[in-house]
Structure 1
Amino acid sequence: MPSGFFALLDDISALVKASAASLDDVPTQVAKTTGKVSGIVIDDTAVTPKYVVGLDPSRELAIIYQIAKKSLINKLLILSPAALLLGYFAPWAITPILMVGGAYLCFEGYEKVHSLFSHHDGQTEREPVKEITPQELEKERVGSAVRTDIILSAEIMAIAYSQVTGQAILNQIIVMVTVAIFITVAVYGFVGLIVKADDLGVHLAGSEQSPTTQKIGRGIVKFMPHFLTWLGYVGTAAMLWVGAEIIAHGIPYTAHLLHDLEQSLSSMPIVAWLAKVLACGAGGLVIGFIVEKVVGLVKKVFFQSGK
């Protein structure tokens, strides 16, 4: 009996050691995953500030908090469990789902580019402008931001899952939860700093500050509107780039083309990256144009059938 008891203790000790060794590898896996999704994280950071531009400044942080909270809930309660379940029961379904999300990003990006470059003359009949309250506008912006974020978050969690495939289920859960929390805090913390930078500038430009500090504050105040405009353009380009890259990686032929493009310019990493971004951006415009036409056709069909 005692020997059996000690044998059981030995088994438990071995299991604890194996689990500890597995958990010791979690920081490495989290760091590796964070590195692989850095491009998507940058895109997410660039896209988000435009959703609070033009709203009440006193509501900016509250709006970002709402988006961040919903983003984290989506990552923890929807996307991570979905990735684990699909990875176990239907791994073939992950790529098509991500490609649909990529098409949505291209569609949103194309619509923004189209509205930016389209010109309306004064004689064109305009649709009546719908008046909405600030609360309704805020709700609309938050909803739009969350829809865009869930696509980017899905890609992040899918990549996180790919780094722990074959690991123990506990290890998979810990890595994915850690990645979800770390990236959400990092992205929306930085976004909060960006949108409140002008308030910092006003504070620094106050009369109680030194002349040098005041000059810095005024410079921040003047710079931030231009920076936010530029960041909006980057965010739109990021939608097209990331959306098209998701789709390209889901199709073997285009995935090989992107790989060959990068390999041909491997001696010039920056040029290789820029070439890939430009190729994906152009592809994203084409995909967005096609999706926009399909969506318009579907709306027209349903509108006519509803009469």
Structure 2
Amino acid sequence: MLQDDARYEQPIKWENQIMYIRDQEGVWHPIRACFKHMAHKPWTRFPLKSKTVVFNNIISCLAGGHNKAMASKSLELFNNELSGSGLAIRFPETICNVSKSEISSCIVKMGGRAVIKAPYGSRQDIYIITNSEELNEFFDSSHHYEKFIVQSLVENASWSTKLHPGKFYHIGIVPDRHNQTFVNDLRMMVSAGETGFYPEAMSSRRAHKPLPTYIPNNSEWNSWEVFGTNLSVKLDSKWTREYDRLITMDQKEFDTIGLGIDDLIDAYVQTVLSVIAIDKMCQKLLINNEFNFELYHTLNPDDVLLGELLN
């Protein structure tokens, strides 16, 4: 990770769209290709056009890889193409490009429970809203960007008297000996070659606390502990990871997820369709090797983000 402090001379620089890395002797070396592993605003460190081959390219981040608003647009557009085929990418109801003043009305529209996300952030930019206190906490927080997305909360089916069409619910992992079930996610990684797509890896992450049958009406209620599966946690002002909640396929605990072969096939299909959707968005945004800023701003009208791209 690069230091932001001006006292440190950066070991990486870009000149004429080529990445250079400085060795211990102070000699700069041009880099032909590199792997990018940066979750926080990678477009501020990597140029849109690069003679150094970057895996994955920045445009894939902007088209949906690190932009939840554009990901929603990508999936929606590809679902329109898939209409009538029997295939579709499933995702919660999502309202994009929401200004802060419009948040409350969106929460009401979704029944008072929803998820607010800064589209380009990570764990600390996600707010799960189940009551007025959590909504007030969002409004009291400072936010760098102007636009948000609001998504329907994937919750316990028993929390609602009516099952709404298009709304998703958690069934959780296999109940433990205390008859408790936990929210979990499933992540699948795929690659593509000359013969098509194939699965690479798969893992699951479990939430901190079990999914209750009803929302407790007390001050100790913490939505993130029930719904948040992100492994990153902040302890003593430092970020760390709780790997004890990570479930991989080589662990016996993987059976507790309760997946059958049909579920695994479905997960594979959903992953492949999502990759194709974002790739198609990349093609729309890149015309003759030039990034289409006008189209991007139309789809994602956040002036703060656009300013970061232009700088």
TM-score exceeds 0.5 = no
Between 1 and 2, higher relative CO (CA 8 Å, sep ≥ 6) is seen in: 1
TM-score (norm 1): 0.23
TM-score (norm 2): 0.23
Greater helix fraction, Structure 1 or Structure 2: 1
Look at both structures and tell me which one has the larger radius of gyration over its CA atoms: 1
Greater strand fraction, Structure 1 or Structure 2: 2
